[in-house]
Structure 1
């Protein structure tokens, strides 16, 4: 039975509410999200006292969240708060007022806990194994080391975008001297982190609202084709350029920067300069951006409560299966199509010579090709493609996401696959691979046309020299209908392989194959 949980993060600049539906350890889906800019840290300066206006904004947002949770029937609510309340001299009074207004007792996260949960969310959304996670909020920034796929040592630094703006850039026009002072301060804070350096095999993941908005600016500048910032590779060079540009633009004109959120225009330049200095110090050439962080880390601790470590073991596989279950498709059918597709891929490997990464993407597309039927059968291949592209598949790169989406899109289209607006995400070899994988997936979909798994397995017998291949469909009963429909759709694979394809009926023997498809989907790198 699905459960629901809400996580609220009251930060120094913004507060967010997320609501998840989930089955513990199996799947989860974000069902609602609300964001409000509260500027809780505004005006604190060096006094570390929460100001009245900021308190009122924050309490009002929490009351609205309380009303929403009650309206949708979510009783399991966790509320955490970070730098502003952590540093505040009057924090106990604020916590008491929040509890009186909402019934919720806010949990103050230490800097180390904030870093841990942020890294946990990043690891469970990017698959980071070795490296670092940086999380910059309004009041602080956490640098967390990740080893063997788990958060390790962490330091919390006073490098939040709102804090830095108030300390150094609180004027309409910003001078070279102000920028130099900010950069010197950031470098001084980072100077003791000699362990925060790029080494071979390390990756850097950055999370937080500031970097997400900087990513949107970079994406707008380069006409990036996706609407998501997740898994975007943000080059250090581009970040340095943006950081050096933004502070030179007066506040009243900064709103016009493409991609910039209006409610971040007054603090984005400080955050950009700080992130630029962080990349300089660490020596990374690029950072991977994650749209998931602290809130997702807190949720994962609940979602994976029965495990020694709240880490998703095989993130890519989990993401695909979780998305399929979210849209309640015919999982048995999808697993069997994926199984047949992988069998065909393997048997035809001497012909196509595609690497194992393409095999894994073919499996993902086989599992997800029909999720669009949740919207409607007509044009469900378009719906499936859209869902894959816009729902986010944690663990996959934007290029891989594009290929899976295109495979879903063309599994029911006889024309040559056309990447169109996604072409800029693909590598040169992907064009040929897309044609071959589309031909395989389309044919296997029709070999499972009756959704009854009558064709339990298959074997391919290629003759490269004479340019033909026989595909033997191993059935446990009458498969005339499947073979008839598949025979009308071999042309896509024929054109892709530049070989004649003939389908023949064969007899399935249990001892020679895996009837369920489980083995094929488990062994993604066979």
Structure 2
């Protein structure tokens, strides 16, 4: 049974309501995301008192969100607050006033909790074994270091993109002198984090600032995929964006494709901080996590429930199968048939092909969602399959791996493969491309031998004679549709392996 849950995240820059549908399997899917750019930090004065105007704006925003929660029939809502309210000297009176006027009990996160939830979101939505997470908000920046997916170190720095803008930059864009003062301030804080230095691991960024970096970079290179989760940038890319933006006026920055207009005046401070962190840690690359604090809260709640033994990719594929009503029995039969073909390829000495365990695992994943696009349009199933999979976030897969899976799961033939891979052809070597076509061709054979989805094939034995394959196929029922289908589809495998395949049914 599914239920709706809501998370209200009261940040220094934005207040956001996200509504998720959560299933019995503890997975959740975002169905609504509404943000209000209230910039609560601007109402925190020099004495660290949140003004009455700021409190009133907070309460009015929460009232609006209450109406939305009621509209969506959400009864399970959590309201969390971070740096600005945590740093406010009148925080207790804020919490009391919010509860009395809205009924929301604010969960005020301490520094460890905010850092921990960000780390949790990263390890629950990527397969990265070791890295540094950076969650730069409007009023604070949380950093963690994990190895073997275990949290080892954390810290919370008392500044964020908006607070740096308010404290150091008087105009719309920073002067060189203002940037120098800001960098000295940030550098002073980094000196107190010795465990951050020279780690040579990926830096995983969360939050609106790093999402904007990624979107700016994607637009600058005409990136062919949708989505930013697990998007990777090298360190020089961040430096390039930083160099470009430092030459622009605020109106010019506001017009940049991929940049949220409301972040135009804080993008440079956040870029400077990220650049310092990348250099200090000697990061190997910057990886973007779309999931962050809010998802970390949900993952932490779910961890108290039943914990699944499935990998991130397996869970994502299970979600896809449910979304497209894919027959699990057919997937298992395809995998069974495909493995027979793979075993014969691997033991045939004159074939210069070697299908590794990693290749086999990739093929099995593709088999589970092979030509899922037919559920939208049977005539264009291959096209829809490639588009859906290449542009859908699949937890645990990088964009490179996601496109690879999409190319195999959508395989129709050499011509369409070349059409689909054209925007990505520089991502893969010729050897990798041939391997993907081979795995796709094997799946075409496997699909042919269960075209009626009745699991009529009980056993397959393959023998080779003078470079030709004899495939003896024992069936438990009428096999004419399968026999007809494989005669049409076997050519893909024959061309790639340079063999002749003769199927014998009985």
Judge which range, 351-360 or 206-215, deviates more: 351-360
Distance 2:204 2:230 in 1: 9
Query: CA offsets, 1:344-374, max 9 Å, x none?
Result: 3343235321433332222222111244344
Aligned to 1:76: 76
Residues 347 and 459 in structure 1, CA contact (< 8 A), matched pair in contact too: no
Aligned to 1:156: 156
Residue 264 of structure 1, CA deviation: 0.9
Distance 1:289 1:132 in 2: 12
Judge which range, 331-340 or 74-83, deviates more: 331-340
Aligned to 2:331: 334
Residues 304 and 311 in structure 1, CA contact (< 8 A), matched pair in contact too: no
| Change in 2 beyond 3 A, CA 1:313/1:88 | farther
Residue 162 of structure 1, CA deviation: 0.6
Aligned to 1:345: 342
Aligned to 2:130: 130
Aligned to 1:37: 37
Distance 2:332 2:106 in 1: 44
Residue 265 of structure 1, CA deviation: 0.5
Residue 491 of structure 1, CA deviation: 1.2
Runs of 4+ residues deviating >6 angstroms: none
| Change in 2 beyond 3 A, CA 1:311/1:51 | farther
Judge which range, 70-79 or 59-68, deviates more: 59-68
| Change in 2 beyond 3 A, CA 1:457/1:160 | farther
Residue 69 of structure 1, CA deviation: 1.8
Query: CA offsets, 1:269-292, max 9 Å, x none?
Result: 110000000111111131211111
| Change in 2 beyond 3 A, CA 1:285/1:130 | closer
Aligned to 2:166: 166
Residues 141 and 160 in structure 2, CA contact (< 8 A), matched pair in contact too: yes
Judge which range, 141-150 or 350-359, deviates more: 350-359
Aligned to 2:387: 386
| Change in 2 beyond 3 A, CA 1:399/1:460 | farther
Residues 5 and 19 in structure 1, CA contact (< 8 A), matched pair in contact too: yes
Residue 294 of structure 1, CA deviation: 1.2
| Change in 2 beyond 3 A, CA 1:335/1:303 | farther
| Change in 2 beyond 3 A, CA 1:179/1:427 | farther
| Change in 2 beyond 3 A, CA 1:450/1:152 | same
Residues 25 and 303 in structure 1, CA contact (< 8 A), matched pair in contact too: no
Distance 2:390 2:98 in 1: 39
Residue 316 of structure 1, CA deviation: 1.8
Which ranges of structure 2 fall in alignment gaps of 5 or more residues? none
Residues 18 and 32 in structure 1, CA contact (< 8 A), matched pair in contact too: yes
Residue pairs, 1:335-484, within 5 angstroms: 335-349=332-346, 350=348, 351=351, 352-411=353-412, 415-418=415-418, 419-462=421-464, 466-484=466-484
| Change in 2 beyond 3 A, CA 1:474/1:166 | farther
Residue 312 of structure 1, CA deviation: 7.0
Residue 416 of structure 1, CA deviation: 4.8
Q: Secondary structure at the match of 2:453?
A: coil
Aligned to 2:197: 197
Q: Secondary structure at the match of 2:446?
A: helix
Distance 2:221 2:482 in 1: 46
Q: Secondary structure at the match of 2:489?
A: coil
Distance 1:404 1:9 in 2: 35
Q: Secondary structure at the match of 1:317?
A: helix
Residue pairs, 1:68-147, within 5 angstroms: 68-147=68-147
Residue 101 of structure 1, CA deviation: 4.4
Residues 411 and 437 in structure 2, CA contact (< 8 A), matched pair in contact too: no
Distance 1:346 1:263 in 2: 57
Distance 1:500 1:476 in 2: 26
Whose RCO is larger (CA < 8 A, sep 6+)?
1
TM superposition score normalised by structure 2: 0.91
Residue 474 of structure 1, CA deviation: 4.2
Query: CA offsets, 1:27-54, max 9 Å, x none?
Result: 4332222233221112425432224554
Distance 2:309 2:468 in 1: 43
Residue 57 of structure 1, CA deviation: 4.1
Q: Secondary structure at the match of 1:488?
A: helix
Aligned to 1:324: 321
Aligned to 2:208: 209
Residue 250 of structure 1, CA deviation: 1.7
Judge which range, 109-118 or 351-360, deviates more: 351-360
| Change in 2 beyond 3 A, CA 1:426/1:224 | farther
Residue pairs, 1:219-298, within 5 angstroms: 219-298=218-297
Aligned to 1:14: 14
Residue 121 of structure 1, CA deviation: 0.5
Residue 60 of structure 1, CA deviation: 3.4
Distance 1:39 1:272 in 2: 19
| Change in 2 beyond 3 A, CA 1:366/1:43 | same
Residue pairs, 1:487-502, within 5 angstroms: 487-502=487-502
Residue 445 of structure 1, CA deviation: 1.4
Query: CA offsets, 1:420-442, max 9 Å, x none?
Result: 22334434432212221221112
Which ranges of structure 1 fall in alignment gaps of 5 or more residues? 507-526
1:48 aligns with 2:48: yes
Query: CA offsets, 1:137-194, max 9 Å, x none?
Result: 1111111121321323311002311111111123134221111111111111111211
Distance 1:190 1:311 in 2: 38
Distance 1:217 1:384 in 2: 28
Distance 1:282 1:118 in 2: 19
Residues 85 and 91 in structure 2, CA contact (< 8 A), matched pair in contact too: yes
| Change in 2 beyond 3 A, CA 1:483/1:22 | farther
